[in-house]
A and B are shown apart, each in its own frame.
Chain A
Amino acid sequence: MSVIAFAKNWEGKFKKSTFELVSYAKDLASRLNTETLILSIGEVDESELGKLAQYGADKIISAEDSRLNILSSRIYAEVISQVVNKEGASFVILSDNNSGKAISPRLSVKLKAGLAAAVLAVPKSLDPFVIQKRVFSGKAFAYVQIDSEKKILTLSKNSFGIVENSVSLNIERFTPELADDIFKIKVNSIENADDKVILADADIVVSAGRGMKAADNWQPVEDLASVLGAATACSRPVSDDGWRGHEEHVGQTGKVIAPNLYFAIGISGAIQHVAGVNRSKCIVAINTDPEAPIFSVADYGVVGDAMIVLPKLTEIIRSGE
Chain B
Amino acid sequence: MKILVCISNVPDTTTKVKFTDNNKQIDYAGVQWIINPWDELALTRAIELKEDSSNSFNEVCVINVGLSNCDATLRKALAIGADKAIRIDAEPLDAYFVAGQIADYLKNNPFDIVLSGIESSDYNGSSVGGMLSEFMDCPAISSMTKLDVENENIIIHRAIPGGKQILELKPPFVGIVQKGITNEPRIPAMRGIMMARKKPLDVVPAIELESLSHIVEFELPVAKVSCKMIDVDQLEELVDLLKSEAKVL
Contact = CB atoms under 8 A, between A and B. Distances in A.
A196 B162 contact: yes
A303 B216 contact: no
B187 interface: no
Interface string A240-260: 100001110100111010001
B124 A146 contact: no
A282 interface: yes
B235 interface: yes
A113 interface: yes
Contact of B161 (A98, A185, A297): A98
B166 A189 contact: yes
B165 interface: yes
Interface in B117-167: 118-119, 121-131, 133-135, 139-143, 145, 155, 159-167
A117 B125 contact: yes
Nearest to B163: A192
Contacts of A252: 13, 121
Residue picked from A103, A136, A249, most chain B C-beta under 10 Å? A136
B1 interface: no
A114 B214 CA distance: 9
A188 B168 contact: yes
Given A113-B212, A184-B139, A309-B232, A135 B165 contact: no
Contacts of B224: 296-299
Query: A interface, by DSSP: helix, strand, loop or mixed?
Result: mixed
A73 interface: yes
Nearest to B228: A300
B180 A147 contact: no
A101 B212 contact: no
Contacts of B227: 285, 295-301
A196 B17 CA distance: 35
A134 interface: yes
A22 B215 CA distance: 26
A185 B165 CA distance: 11
A106 B140 contact: yes
B81 interface: no
Contacts of A299: 224, 227-228, 246
A296 B228 CA distance: 10
Given A74-B133, A77-B134, A261 B218 contact: no
Contacts of B134: 74, 77, 105-106, 108-110
Contacts of B170: 184
Nearest to A115: B127
A116 interface: yes
A29 to B, nearest CB: 21
Contacts of A166: none
Contacts of B190: none
Contacts of B189: none
B179 A246 contact: yes
A142 B213 CA distance: 12
Given A102-B130, A104-B130, A108-B127, A188 B166 contact: yes
B229 interface: yes
Contact of A300 (B168, B220, B238): B238
Nearest to B16: A271
Interface in B202-249: 211-221, 223-224, 227-232, 235-236, 238-239, 241-242, 246, 248-249
Interface in A285-310: 285, 295-304, 308-309
A133 B215 CA distance: 10
Given A143-B219, A148-B212, A282-B246, A320 B122 contact: no
Interface in A209-247: 228, 239-240, 245-247
Contact of B214 (A113, A145, A282): A145
Contact of A144 (B121, B165, B215, B249): B215
B248 A260 contact: yes
A131 B235 CA distance: 41
B48 interface: no
Given A115-B96, A296-B227, A253 B131 contact: no
A80 B32 CA distance: 41
B242 A284 contact: yes
Contacts of B212: 108, 112-115, 146-148
Contacts of A303: 229, 232
B121 A187 contact: no
A105 B128 contact: yes
A151 to B, nearest CB: 9
Contacts of A135: 17, 122-124, 218
6 contacts: A110-B134, A115-B125, A145-B215, A185-B167, A186-B169, A191-B165
Given A98-B143, A140-B219, A284-B238, 13 more contacts: A98-B160, A109-B134, A117-B127, A118-B124, A130-B216, A135-B124, A138-B221, A142-B217, A142-B219, A144-B216, A145-B216, A188-B166, A304-B232
Closest 5 CB pairs of A and B: A105-B130, A114-B212, A102-B142, A192-B163, A304-B232
